[in-house]
Amino acid sequence: MGMRYVPSDLEGEANKDLEDLRNKLLSRPSPGASGPTGSWRLFRPEVSAAKCVKCGICWLYCPEDVIAWTQRELPRIDYTYCKGCGVCASVCPTKAIEMVVEGE
């Protein structure tokens, strides 16, 4: 039998390896002993569509990993687990995130 060429999806395999590694290394937001951590929040981050340049820095720095980001969309914050720490607002280079009092 001769050798057979089997095409491989190297990029797909590399992406899967990275995703597997990410899942092993990073914890995911999950409920604390007293429920979802968003219930602790006193201030709520709100993103201004007019000011956001979609740079992803807020996504990179959020200590709770509750910001979803792509280069084409505004960052989306999972308020179920966002603790309202304000790190995202502090690091945003265009001041596009305002911390507002929760419930207002």
Site residues (CB under 6 A) for ligand SF4?
A: 45, 47, 52-58, 62, 64, 66-67, 75, 77, 82-88, 92, 94, 96-97
Q: What is the DSSP code string of 84-97?
A: ---HHHHH-TT--E
* Nearest-approach distance from CB 63 to ligand SF4, in angstroms: 6
The single-letter DSSP state of residue 35 is: B
Tell me how far apart the alpha carbons of residues 17 and 11 are, in angstroms, rounded to a whole number.
Answer: 10
In the complex, least distance from residue 2 CB atom to ligand SF4, rounded to whole angstroms: 54
Minimum distance between the CB of residue 46 and ligand SF4, rounded to whole angstroms? 10
* Cβ proximity to ligand SF4, 36 vs 87, nearer residue: 87
* Amino acid of residue 95: K
Closer CB to ligand SF4, 13 or 46, in the complex: 46
> Could you give the CA distance from residue 104 to residue 91 in angstroms, rounded to a whole number?
23
